[in-house]
Structure 1
C-alpha cells in the first residue's frame, strides 16, 4: 500500500528535512545530477515509502544516461504508487529501451495506453515524422527523423559531422517535446536526443561543388548509386555558417565579395553557384563516383573538395541543464 503521508510528519527534524529537500531540488535544477541523486537518496533512507523521492532519483539518472539506475529507481517509484503515474512509466520505458529490455519497455508503454505491435523483441513500427535535437547539451542541431518506436527514431537528414551523428543513425529520444518545427503545411514535435543506440554505416562526407543551376543540383540529388544514402544541399538548409571557410576551401571570384556568406535556397534567377553538400554514404569511393558522373553529364559542373571529417558523439557536462527547451515546463510523457 502506498504511503501518502507527508514525510515531514515522521521526520525527526522538520527543518532539517526541508533544508535537505531544498538542497536536493536545487542541485537538480542546476544540473548537479550526481549530487541530486545522493541527496534524494538520503531523503529516501529517511522516508523509504515516499514515491517521489525515488522518482526524482530515476529522473536524475535518466539525464545522467545511467540507464540501470534510472530503471531501478523508476520501477521503485511505481511500486509505491497506488495508481498509474505516467511520468514514472515513461522514464522506466525510456531506460528499458536504452538497455534493450524489450519486455519491460513493452510493459511500460502498455501501462501508458500506447498501442504497440505485438511481439517480444524490439518495437518496429511507424510512429510518424518528428524533429530530433541532436546534442541538446551542445549546438542543438535539429534534423528530421522517423520514429520506429515510442522513443527511438531513425535520422533522415545528414547531420553536421561535429554533432557526432550520421544519416540513418537510430537514436534514443526523450518523451517530452521541447518545441515544434514546421513541416509541409503543419508542424512536428521536437524531441531531445539522449544517445545513439545503433550507429549507421553511412559516414558523413562534405562536398564543395560548383553547380550552374538549380536544375543541375536536382540532377545530382536525384541520382542513384550503390552506397549513397542521401545528398543534402546544406547551402539551402544551413544558415549562419560558411563551411568553405571553416574547411579552408576558397571562394570563386564571383563570390569573393560575399563577405556575409549569406546562404539559402534560391531560384535560377538568384542562384549561388558554390554549393556545400552533406552526403551520407557508405564509402568515399561511392561519393567520388557519384560526383564524377555528375560532372561529366553537364557543362559548368565541378568539384572543389570532398572532406570526411571526424564524427564523434559528445556527452553532456555536469552542471548543464540541457533537457528543457526555451520556456519549457513540460511533464514527461508527451507524444
Structure 2
C-alpha cells in the first residue's frame, strides 16, 4: 500500500532513520554510538525484541555484562510467544553475560534452554568441553594458544602466553561462543574462539628467559625437568609463529613451502610459568649444570595489562565472515 504523506507519523516512521544509523554504527564497530541509538529506538519501540538483542550485543562487545544480560533477557521476553524455539543467539549471549557475572543459577538455566547439558550445582560449572584455540585480545595482536574448556564459555589456558598479552598460563578466561576458524590440536581440528575477559587469574607468573644451548635435546631436557613451583616451560622460539591473517583464522589457502630444514638457532627465547623467581633460578641452575654448552643469558618477569578494546574496530568477525549476521 502506498504511503500517505499526510498520514500522522508513527513510531515506525520515527524509528526508520535511527534504525539505519544504529546498525551502521554497529557494523563499523562504533559500539558506544550504536548503544545510544538502540536505546533511543527502544524509547520509541520498547517491546521490539531485536532492538533489545542488538543493544545487548553491543554491550557484550563493550564488555559491559550487566547491561548485556538485561537486554538479552528482554529480547527473550519480548520474543514472539508463537515461536516454537527462543532466539538462540539471545540465549547464548545472555548465558555469556551470566557466566561473566558469576550468576551460575541463571547460566545453568540458559545453557539448558540452549539444549546444552551442564553439571547441576550451585557454584561455577566444572566439566570437560574439550580443547579450543583461544585468541587473546582479539581487538589487538590476536595471540592464539590452546585451552581446556571447563564450561560452555570458560576455559583454562594450556600454554604460556607472551607477557604483553596480560594473560598467564592457567588463567581461566571467558570466551565467545562463535568460532572464527579452526586450528590443529594433535590429530583433531578445534575451534578458534575469541577471549573476552580474564575471570580468574592464575597463581603462575610468566618469566621471560633467554638461554643458549647446542641442540633441541637441551630444550627437551629442560622441559622434562620437574621442580616445585614450575608449571610449564615453553620454547617460544619454536612455538610462536607469526601467522598471516588467513592462517590466524584457519582459513584455507596455500603458502610457498621452503624444503630446507631451518638450522638450529642456539639462542632460545623461553616462557616459564612459575610461582616465583627462586623456583625459576633453581630450575635453570640445575639444567645448565647438567649439560655442556648450556648458558643462561637473562631472566625477567615483565607485567602488562591486557590492552582495552578500541572503538571503531570490528574485531569479532573473521576475514571470511560476510554473512551479515551480527552475532
Q: TM-score, normalised by structure 2?
A: 0.87
Give the drift of 1:186: 2.4
Partner residue, 1:210? 212
Secondary structure at the residue paired with 2:306? Answer: coil
Partner residue, 1:31? 29
1:299 correspondence with 2:297:
no
Give the drift of 1:277: 0.4
Q: Please give the alpha-carbon distance, in whole angstroms, between the structure 2 residues aligned to 1:282 and 1:10.
A: 70
> 1:289-331: CA deviations, max 9, x gaps?
1000000111111101112112212210122211111122576
Q: Is the 8 A contact 2:207 2:271 kept in 1?
A: yes
Give the drift of 1:86: 0.6
Partner residue, 1:121? 123
Partner residue, 1:139? 141
Q: Is the 8 A contact 2:11 2:44 kept in 1?
A: no
CA shift in 2, pair 1:10/1:160, >3 Å: farther
Partner residue, 1:76? 74
Q: How many residue pairs end up in the alignment?
A: 300
CA shift in 2, pair 1:319/1:120, >3 Å: same
CA shift in 2, pair 1:49/1:16, >3 Å: closer
Q: Is the 8 A contact 2:207 2:272 kept in 1?
A: yes
Q: Please give the alpha-carbon distance, in whole angstroms, between the structure 2 residues aligned to 1:92 and 1:165.
A: 25
Give the drift of 1:58: 0.5
Q: Is the 8 A contact 1:90 1:332 kept in 2?
A: no
Q: Please give the alpha-carbon distance, in whole angstroms, between the structure 2 residues aligned to 1:168 and 1:105.
A: 23
Q: Is the 8 A contact 1:207 1:276 kept in 2?
A: yes
Give the drift of 1:92: 0.4
Q: Please give the alpha-carbon distance, in whole angstroms, between the structure 1 residues aligned to 2:229 and 2:326.
A: 39
Give the drift of 1:183: 1.6
Secondary structure at the residue paired with 2:206? Answer: strand
Q: Please give the alpha-carbon distance, in whole angstroms, between the structure 1 residues aligned to 2:216 and 2:73.
A: 55
CA shift in 2, pair 1:329/1:176, >3 Å: farther
Secondary structure at the residue paired with 1:73? Answer: helix
1:86 correspondence with 2:79:
no
Q: What does 1:117-196 correspond to in 2, within 5 Å?
A: 117-196=119-198
Give the drift of 1:216: 1.3
Partner residue, 1:40? 38
- Decide which of 264, 272, 296 is 1:279's aligned counterpart: 272
1:96 correspondence with 2:91:
no
Q: Please give the alpha-carbon distance, in whole angstroms, between the structure 2 residues aligned to 1:168 and 1:47.
A: 45
CA shift in 2, pair 1:40/1:240, >3 Å: closer
Q: What does 1:252-271 correspond to in 2, within 5 Å?
A: 270-271=263-264
Q: Is the 8 A contact 1:87 1:332 kept in 2?
A: no
Give the drift of 1:115: 1.1
CA shift in 2, pair 1:32/1:14, >3 Å: same
Q: Is the 8 A contact 1:175 1:332 kept in 2?
A: no
Secondary structure at the residue paired with 2:73? Answer: helix
Q: Please give the alpha-carbon distance, in whole angstroms, between the structure 1 residues aligned to 2:9 and 2:184.
A: 51
Q: Please give the alpha-carbon distance, in whole angstroms, between the structure 2 residues aligned to 1:270 and 1:30.
A: 45
Partner residue, 1:226? 228
Report the aligned-residue RMSD. 2.1
Q: Is the 8 A contact 2:15 2:44 kept in 1?
A: no
Q: Please give the alpha-carbon distance, in whole angstroms, between the structure 1 residues aligned to 2:8 and 2:313.
A: 35
> 1:175-215: CA deviations, max 9, x gaps?
10111111222211000000100011111111111111211
Partner residue, 2:50? 52
Partner residue, 1:237? 239
Greater CA drift, 58-67 or 209-218 = 209-218
CA shift in 2, pair 1:187/1:302, >3 Å: same
1:328 correspondence with 2:326:
no
Q: Is the 8 A contact 1:11 1:46 kept in 2?
A: no
